[in-house]
Amino acid sequence: MPALLSKIFSEVNLGTLFKIPVKLNWSFFLLIILSLITSGPSDAFTVTLTLFSVLGHELSHSLVAKKLGIEVKEITLYYFGGIASINLKDNSSSHDELSVAMAGPIFSILLGLLLLSVKLTPFVFPAIVPMLGLINLVIGFGNLMPIFPLDGGRILRSLLKMKWGYIQATKASLIVARVLGFILLANAIIFVHQLIIIAAIINILTFAESIRFKSETLLPEEKRKINYPSNPESSVIPSPQEVGHENK
């Protein structure tokens, strides 16, 4: 059983982009299989194309970080989204964290608007093109929710950090994240059942971030600055059904 679990949660190396290793977690194939079972080949194909949108989102974070001289370890794509492992230390400037955090949503929103704009042209495009536009808008605006560790939570922390410093800003951001995460999960359970899995994952990520932060604050400041682990910039993949629900 442990060997089976390790295979399920292992990763496939897809290669490198701009000298950044890109990996695909095996759990992504579970999403493909689930889409095939519940909705058929068309949705499974849409989910597969969405993978490239998520990769672009995470690559945007990573390229801005590299431009600022910040180490980027890798990009990993999961069934719930992607994570760019970026070594933002607690003594990194607020401007740097803000720039890195905003890069992903800006890319997704601009790509979404571009793909949706094909409806305004006299040319005929496959229906999947505007669908991908909607998905990218959901990825972009969804990640702007001020729920740590989503991009919006990191944007909030970077703004608070300008006045309060790293520790107080992170504490405040985590409080906001826990409250909004609970509200999101409650609404998903009561009203929008399609969002339950994503809401649960967001709450789990927030809980994990809280534990990581608490363990770090026990270290002396000089060690935190040196040994600060990679901060994942997260984006969540919405399913095509969720996009359809949002736009009814």
3-state secondary structure the chain: CHHHHHHHCCEEEEEEECCEEEEEECHHHHHHHHHHHHCCHHHHHHHHHHHHHHHHHHHHHHHHHHHCCCCEEEEEEECCEEEEEECCCCCCCHHHHHHHHHHHHHHHHHHHHHHHHHHHCCCCCCCHHHHHHHHHHHHHHHCCCCCCCEHHHHHHHHHHHHHHCHHHHHHHHHHHHHHHHHHHHHHHHHCCHHHHHHHHHHHHHHHHHHHHHHHHHCCCHHHHHHHCCCEEEEEECCCHHHHHHHCC
71 assigned to active site: no
| The one catalytic residue among 58, 97, 209, 233 | 58
Which residues are catalytic, by number?
58
